[in-house]
Protein backbone atom coordinates (compact mmCIF):
# COMPACT_ATOMS: atom_id res chain seq x y z
CA UNK A 1 0.00 0.00 0.00
CA UNK A 2 1.12 3.58 -0.64
CA UNK A 3 0.65 6.28 1.98
CA UNK A 4 -2.73 7.36 0.67
CA UNK A 5 -3.93 3.79 0.83
CA UNK A 6 -2.47 3.33 4.32
CA UNK A 7 -4.30 6.43 5.53
CA UNK A 8 -7.54 5.05 4.11
CA UNK A 9 -6.78 1.67 5.71
CA UNK A 10 -6.25 3.38 9.08
CA UNK A 11 -9.59 5.19 8.67
CA UNK A 12 -11.32 1.90 8.02
CA UNK A 13 -9.66 0.36 11.09
CA UNK A 14 -10.99 3.28 13.14
CA UNK A 15 -14.48 2.88 11.70
CA UNK A 16 -14.42 -0.87 12.40
CA UNK A 17 -13.17 -0.21 15.93
CA UNK A 18 -15.90 2.30 16.68
CA UNK A 19 -18.62 0.07 15.23
CA UNK A 20 -17.21 -2.95 17.10
CA UNK A 21 -17.25 -1.20 20.48
CA UNK A 22 -20.47 0.61 19.59
CA UNK A 23 -22.23 -2.71 19.03
CA UNK A 24 -21.85 -3.31 22.75
CA UNK A 25 -22.11 0.32 23.81
CA UNK A 26 -18.99 0.40 25.94
CA UNK A 27 -15.33 -0.53 25.64
CA UNK A 28 -11.66 0.38 25.57
CA UNK A 29 -11.98 2.89 22.79
CA UNK A 30 -9.21 5.38 23.63
CA UNK A 31 -6.27 2.99 23.56
CA UNK A 32 -7.72 1.16 20.56
CA UNK A 33 -7.95 4.28 18.41
CA UNK A 34 -4.44 5.40 19.33
CA UNK A 35 -2.88 2.32 17.68
CA UNK A 36 -5.00 2.29 14.48
CA UNK A 37 -2.22 3.89 12.42
CA UNK A 38 0.57 1.54 13.47
CA UNK A 39 -1.74 -1.40 12.79
CA UNK A 40 -2.48 -0.01 9.32
CA UNK A 41 1.23 0.26 8.52
CA UNK A 42 2.03 -3.19 9.92
CA UNK A 43 -0.80 -5.10 8.24
CA UNK A 44 -0.95 -2.86 5.17
CA UNK A 45 2.73 -2.92 4.35
CA UNK A 46 5.26 -4.60 6.61
CA UNK A 47 3.95 -7.82 8.04
CA UNK A 48 4.40 -11.04 6.11
CA UNK A 49 1.03 -12.63 6.86
CA UNK A 50 -1.65 -14.40 4.87
CA UNK A 51 -5.29 -14.17 5.99
CA UNK A 52 -6.06 -17.25 3.90
CA UNK A 53 -3.43 -19.18 5.83
CA UNK A 54 -3.47 -17.63 9.30
CA UNK A 55 -1.04 -20.19 10.75
CA UNK A 56 1.41 -19.94 7.83
CA UNK A 57 4.87 -21.07 8.89
CA UNK A 58 7.47 -18.35 8.99
CA UNK A 59 4.87 -15.58 9.15
CA UNK A 60 5.52 -12.46 11.13
CA UNK A 61 3.75 -12.30 14.50
CA UNK A 62 2.18 -9.47 16.43
CA UNK A 63 1.66 -9.59 20.19
CA UNK A 64 -0.69 -6.87 21.39
CA UNK A 65 0.59 -6.87 24.95
CA UNK A 66 -1.83 -4.09 25.87
CA UNK A 67 -4.51 -6.71 25.41
CA UNK A 68 -7.42 -4.38 26.09
CA UNK A 69 -6.87 -2.88 22.63
CA UNK A 70 -8.42 -6.07 21.26
CA UNK A 71 -11.11 -4.17 19.31
CA UNK A 72 -8.44 -2.43 17.20
CA UNK A 73 -6.78 -5.79 16.48
CA UNK A 74 -10.16 -7.28 15.51
CA UNK A 75 -10.81 -4.23 13.33
CA UNK A 76 -7.65 -4.76 11.29
CA UNK A 77 -8.01 -8.56 11.13
CA UNK A 78 -11.59 -8.29 9.86
CA UNK A 79 -10.53 -5.69 7.31
CA UNK A 80 -7.80 -8.06 6.11
CA UNK A 81 -10.35 -10.87 5.75
CA UNK A 82 -9.36 -13.18 8.59
CA UNK A 83 -13.04 -13.39 9.52
CA UNK A 84 -16.27 -11.69 8.35
CA UNK A 85 -16.68 -8.05 9.35
CA UNK A 86 -20.11 -8.92 10.72
CA UNK A 87 -18.33 -10.70 13.59
CA UNK A 88 -17.11 -7.33 14.83
CA UNK A 89 -20.62 -6.73 16.13
CA UNK A 90 -20.34 -9.68 18.52
CA UNK A 91 -17.69 -8.09 20.78
CA UNK A 92 -17.92 -9.34 24.36
CA UNK A 93 -21.25 -11.03 23.88
CA UNK A 94 -21.56 -14.50 25.42
CA UNK A 95 -19.89 -17.10 23.20
CA UNK A 96 -18.13 -14.52 21.01
CA UNK A 97 -14.79 -15.09 19.31
CA UNK A 98 -13.90 -11.48 20.10
CA UNK A 99 -13.37 -11.02 23.83
CA UNK A 100 -12.41 -7.74 25.44
CA UNK A 101 -8.77 -8.82 25.66
CA UNK A 102 -6.89 -10.64 22.88
CA UNK A 103 -7.17 -14.43 22.97
CA UNK A 104 -5.19 -16.53 20.48
CA UNK A 105 -7.47 -19.52 21.01
CA UNK A 106 -10.62 -17.61 20.14
CA UNK A 107 -9.74 -15.15 17.38
CA UNK A 108 -8.24 -16.22 14.06
CA UNK A 109 -5.14 -14.15 13.39
CA UNK A 110 -4.34 -13.31 17.01
CA UNK A 111 -0.84 -14.60 17.75
CA UNK A 112 -0.80 -14.40 21.55
CA UNK A 113 -3.21 -14.13 24.43
CA UNK A 114 -2.81 -10.99 26.55
CA UNK A 115 -4.75 -9.02 29.09
CA UNK A 116 -2.77 -9.20 32.30
CA UNK A 117 -0.46 -6.31 31.54
CA UNK A 118 3.29 -6.74 31.18
CA UNK A 119 3.23 -10.34 29.99
CA UNK A 120 2.99 -10.01 26.21
CA UNK A 121 6.45 -8.60 25.68
CA UNK A 122 8.04 -11.73 27.19
CA UNK A 123 6.01 -13.85 24.79
CA UNK A 124 7.18 -11.67 21.88
CA UNK A 125 10.76 -12.27 23.07
CA UNK A 126 10.07 -16.02 23.08
CA UNK A 127 8.64 -15.77 19.56
CA UNK A 128 11.72 -13.86 18.38
CA UNK A 129 13.98 -16.55 19.87
CA UNK A 130 11.79 -19.20 18.23
CA UNK A 131 12.15 -17.53 14.84
CA UNK A 132 15.93 -17.39 15.31
CA UNK A 133 16.05 -21.10 16.21
CA UNK A 134 13.88 -21.95 13.19
CA UNK A 135 15.92 -19.61 10.98
CA UNK A 136 12.72 -18.73 9.13
CA UNK A 137 13.36 -15.00 8.90
CA UNK A 138 10.18 -14.03 10.74
CA UNK A 139 9.89 -10.79 12.65
CA UNK A 140 8.27 -10.64 16.08
CA UNK A 141 6.30 -7.42 16.58
CA UNK A 142 4.72 -6.27 19.82
CA UNK A 143 2.73 -3.28 21.00
CA UNK A 144 2.99 -2.28 24.65
CA UNK A 145 1.26 0.50 26.51
CA UNK A 146 2.87 3.42 28.30
CA UNK A 147 0.98 2.62 31.49
CA UNK A 148 1.86 -1.04 30.95
CA UNK A 149 5.52 -0.03 31.03
CA UNK A 150 5.14 0.42 34.78
CA UNK A 151 5.03 -3.38 35.07
CA UNK A 152 8.30 -4.93 36.19
CA UNK A 153 8.06 -7.80 33.72
CA UNK A 154 8.41 -5.35 30.81
CA UNK A 155 11.91 -4.57 32.03
CA UNK A 156 12.77 -8.20 32.66
CA UNK A 157 11.88 -8.85 29.02
CA UNK A 158 13.68 -5.71 27.86
CA UNK A 159 16.89 -6.75 29.61
CA UNK A 160 16.81 -10.25 28.20
CA UNK A 161 15.98 -9.18 24.62
CA UNK A 162 18.87 -6.73 24.73
CA UNK A 163 21.16 -9.40 26.11
CA UNK A 164 20.09 -11.82 23.38
CA UNK A 165 20.54 -9.14 20.67
CA UNK A 166 17.16 -10.04 19.18
CA UNK A 167 17.22 -7.96 16.00
CA UNK A 168 14.09 -9.68 14.73
CA UNK A 169 12.09 -8.09 17.55
CA UNK A 170 10.40 -4.74 16.86
CA UNK A 171 8.32 -3.30 19.68
CA UNK A 172 6.13 -0.19 19.74
CA UNK A 173 5.22 1.82 22.81
CA UNK A 174 1.82 3.44 22.39
CA UNK A 175 2.84 6.55 24.30
CA UNK A 176 -0.50 8.33 24.56
CA UNK A 177 0.41 9.69 28.03
CA UNK A 178 -2.76 8.44 29.70
CA UNK A 179 -3.67 5.42 31.77
CA UNK A 180 -6.90 4.34 33.43
CA UNK A 181 -6.53 6.44 36.56
CA UNK A 182 -5.03 9.55 34.98
CA UNK A 183 -1.85 10.91 33.44
CA UNK A 184 1.08 8.50 33.30
CA UNK A 185 3.55 11.17 34.39
CA UNK A 186 1.49 12.01 37.46
CA UNK A 187 0.81 8.42 38.54
CA UNK A 188 4.23 6.82 38.02
CA UNK A 189 6.32 8.59 35.41
CA UNK A 190 8.02 6.32 32.85
CA UNK A 191 10.28 9.08 31.46
CA UNK A 192 13.00 9.33 30.29
CA UNK A 193 11.68 6.51 28.12
CA UNK A 194 14.19 6.79 25.27
CA UNK A 195 17.09 6.66 27.71
CA UNK A 196 15.59 3.67 29.50
CA UNK A 197 15.28 1.53 26.40
CA UNK A 198 18.65 2.66 25.06
CA UNK A 199 20.28 1.70 28.34
CA UNK A 200 18.76 -1.78 28.00
CA UNK A 201 20.75 -2.11 24.73
CA UNK A 202 17.88 -1.50 22.34
CA UNK A 203 17.86 0.64 19.21
CA UNK A 204 15.34 3.36 19.98
CA UNK A 205 13.45 5.33 17.36
CA UNK A 206 11.12 8.08 18.49
CA UNK A 207 8.20 9.09 16.30
CA UNK A 208 6.94 12.55 17.21
CA UNK A 209 3.58 11.95 15.54
CA UNK A 210 2.78 8.33 16.25
CA UNK A 211 -0.50 8.63 14.39
CA UNK A 212 1.20 9.51 11.09
CA UNK A 213 1.47 6.50 8.77
CA UNK A 214 4.38 7.93 6.80
CA UNK A 215 6.44 8.56 9.94
CA UNK A 216 5.58 5.12 11.31
CA UNK A 217 6.54 3.46 8.05
CA UNK A 218 9.91 5.22 7.98
CA UNK A 219 10.56 4.20 11.58
CA UNK A 220 9.82 0.54 10.85
CA UNK A 221 11.96 0.59 7.71
CA UNK A 222 14.83 2.06 9.70
CA UNK A 223 14.29 -0.44 12.53
CA UNK A 224 14.46 -3.36 10.11
CA UNK A 225 17.84 -2.15 8.82
CA UNK A 226 19.46 -2.17 12.26
CA UNK A 227 21.25 -5.43 13.08
CA UNK A 228 22.43 -6.88 16.36
CA UNK A 229 19.84 -5.49 18.77
CA UNK A 230 16.10 -5.31 19.40
CA UNK A 231 14.24 -2.18 18.35
CA UNK A 232 11.89 0.05 20.29
CA UNK A 233 9.75 2.49 18.33
CA UNK A 234 8.21 5.03 20.69
CA UNK A 235 5.04 6.36 19.13
CA UNK A 236 3.83 9.64 20.60
CA UNK A 237 0.15 9.11 20.03
CA UNK A 238 -3.16 10.65 21.02
CA UNK A 239 -5.55 8.52 23.04
CA UNK A 240 -8.81 8.33 21.15
CA UNK A 241 -7.17 9.74 17.99
CA UNK A 242 -9.50 10.51 15.11
CA UNK A 243 -12.74 10.89 17.02
CA UNK A 244 -12.91 14.30 18.65
CA UNK A 245 -15.36 13.45 21.43
CA UNK A 246 -13.16 10.51 22.46
CA UNK A 247 -10.04 12.66 22.36
CA UNK A 248 -11.83 15.24 24.49
CA UNK A 249 -12.87 12.57 26.99
CA UNK A 250 -9.11 12.37 27.71
CA UNK A 251 -8.52 10.13 30.74
CA UNK A 252 -12.17 9.14 30.52
CA UNK A 253 -11.57 7.43 27.18
CA UNK A 254 -9.82 4.36 28.60
CA UNK A 255 -13.17 2.63 28.73
CA UNK A 256 -16.21 4.70 27.81
CA UNK A 257 -19.77 4.43 26.63
CA UNK A 258 -20.60 4.98 23.00
CA UNK A 259 -24.20 4.69 21.80
CA UNK A 260 -25.49 4.32 18.23
CA UNK A 261 -25.85 8.05 17.76
CA UNK A 262 -22.25 8.62 18.79
CA UNK A 263 -21.08 5.83 16.52
CA UNK A 264 -22.71 7.65 13.59
CA UNK A 265 -21.06 10.92 14.57
CA UNK A 266 -17.68 9.20 14.92
CA UNK A 267 -17.91 7.39 11.60
CA UNK A 268 -18.88 10.60 9.83
CA UNK A 269 -15.93 12.44 11.36
CA UNK A 270 -13.46 9.65 10.46
CA UNK A 271 -14.75 9.47 6.87
CA UNK A 272 -14.49 13.24 6.45
CA UNK A 273 -11.01 13.51 7.91
Partner 1 sequence: MLKNMLMRDVLVEFLREEMAKNENVVVLDADLSKCSTTICLNDVYPERMLNVGIAEANMAGVAAGLSTYGFIPYITTFGPFATRRIADQLMISICYSKQNVKIVGADPGICAELNGGTHMPLEDIGMLRSIPDIVIYEPTDVIEFNQALPQIQSHYGPVYIRMHRKSPPIVHKDDLKFDLFKAMVLEKGDDVTIVASGIMVKTALDAREELAKEGISAEVICCPTIKPLDSKTILKSVKKTGAVVTAENHNVMGALTSAVSEVLVENYPAPLRSVGVKEKFGEVGKEAYLRKVFNMEVKDVVKAAKDVIKAK
Interaction site with partner 1 (CB under 8 A)? 61, 63, 103-105, 111-116, 118-131, 133-134, 140, 152-153, 156-157, 159-160, 163
Query: Which residues, in sequence order, are bridge partners of residue 142?
Result: 63, 171
Tell me the C-alpha distance between 149 and 188, whole Å.
Answer: 10
For partner 1, the closer of residues 130 and 252 by Cβ is 130
CB of 216 to partner 1, least distance (A): 24
49, 43 in Cβ contact below 8 A? yes
Tell me the C-alpha distance between 271 and 201, whole Å.
Answer: 41
CB of 218 to partner 1, least distance (A): 28
For partner 1, the closer of residues 55 and 86 by Cβ is 55
Tell me the C-alpha distance between 244 and 255, whole Å.
Answer: 15
CB of 251 to partner 1, least distance (A): 26
Pairing of strands 178-179, 182-183: antiparallel
Tell me the C-alpha distance between 221 and 104, whole Å.
Answer: 27
Q: Which of 60, 188, 67, 181 is nearest to 119 (CA)?
A: 67
Q: Which of 26, 134, 17, 159 is nearest to 76 (CA)?
A: 17
For partner 1, the closer of residues 120 and 240 by Cβ is 120
CB of 213 to partner 1, least distance (A): 28
Q: Which of 147, 273, 128, 148 is nearest to 211 (CA)?
A: 273
CB of 26 to partner 1, least distance (A): 23
For partner 1, the closer of residues 128 and 207 by Cβ is 128
Tell me the C-alpha distance between 55 and 114, whole Å.
Answer: 18
109 phi/psi in degrees, rounded to 5: 100, -15
For partner 1, the closer of residues 61 and 239 by Cβ is 61
How many C-beta neighbours within 10 Å does residue 128 have? 25
CB of 148 to partner 1, least distance (A): 13
CB of 170 to partner 1, least distance (A): 15
133, 125 in Cβ contact below 8 A? no
Amino acid sequence: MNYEQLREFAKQIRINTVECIGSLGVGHIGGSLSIADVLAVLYGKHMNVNPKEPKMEGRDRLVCSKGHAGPAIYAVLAEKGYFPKSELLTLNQGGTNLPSHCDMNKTIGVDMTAGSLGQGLSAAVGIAIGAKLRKDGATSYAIIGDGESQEGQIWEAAMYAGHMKLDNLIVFTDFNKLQLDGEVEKINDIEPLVDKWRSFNWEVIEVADGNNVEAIDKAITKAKSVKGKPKMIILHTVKGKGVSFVEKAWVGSHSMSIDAEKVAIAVKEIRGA
